[in-house]
Amino acid sequence: MLAENTDVLNTALKVGLSGPGRLHDLCVNMEAATPGEIKSGGVGMKIYTGIHPSPFGETLIHINERGICGISFINKENKLAREQRLYNLWPNAKFIVDQKKTEKVAKRIFNQTNSNAPIDVFVKGTNFQVQVWQALVRLEPGTLATYGQIAKAIGKPKASRAVGGAIGANHIGFLIPCHRVIREGGIFGSYHWGVDRKLAMIGWEQVKREG
């Protein structure tokens, strides 16, 4: 697959998701936090949270006025636990449980309702991390890339290890599709929310891609 899809990957990274052949209408706009927002830790920011079903298990979704700022998956063994990653990113923000607000987002993402409006995501990261995440959202659904290919795509071909670190820091699962990145030689590698879930996402996308 890697050998066959090299050209497809390079094209997708340049032009993004476009054309009638794409998997769905989920076009992602990414906005990064400002230095002031990072320094304040989210003072004055309201983040709404909710838990919803998805094809890949229960999903914890965080949104604020700028867009989706967190998507994580809850495993059965830690169902009562909450994803701490976003709380650590924005320690001074106010978190509010609001299932109605987040339900609309969950339906748009996982039911893939037809809409021409892009989905806005709001990220907190270094310039390098944001570059990597932007490359990920341009990957065509149903395709795979290696860490080295992502490094080349952002103009840093020797930064494969750093790309792995940026992927591990991704706090918006599925929409920033780190599940589409594998190791050289076709090894699937680890995944923050479990390798089984990563395999399920890859298989789900490839089946839909093939119709």
Which domain, by its residues, includes 205? Answer: 6-26+125-209
Per DSSP, 172 falls in state B
Known catalytic residues are 178
Closest CA to 154 of 163, 144, 164: 163
The answer to whether position 38 is within a domain reads yes
130 shares a domain with 179: yes
Rounded distance, CA 33 to CA 35, Å?
Answer: 7
Q: Sort strands 181-182 and 145-146 into parallel, antiparallel or unpaired.
A: parallel
Reading the chain (211 residues) residue by residue, the pLDDT tens digits are: 444 555 545 554 554 444 334 434 468 889 999 999 999 999 999 999 999 999 999 999 999 999 999 999 987 666 555 567 888 999 999 999 999 999 999 998 887 665 667 899 999 999 999 999 999 998 888 889 999 999 999 999 999 999 999 999 999 999 999 999 998 888 888 888 889 999 999 999 888 777 6
Residues 6+ apart with CB under 8 A from 104: none
The answer to whether position 120 is within a domain reads no
CATH code for the domain of 69: 3.30.160
Q: Which pTM value belongs to this model?
A: 0.83
93 shares a domain with 156: no
Degrees (nearest 5) of the Cα angle 61, 139, 86? 25
162 shares a domain with 203: yes
The answer to whether position 1 is within a domain reads no
The answer to whether position 115 is within a domain reads no
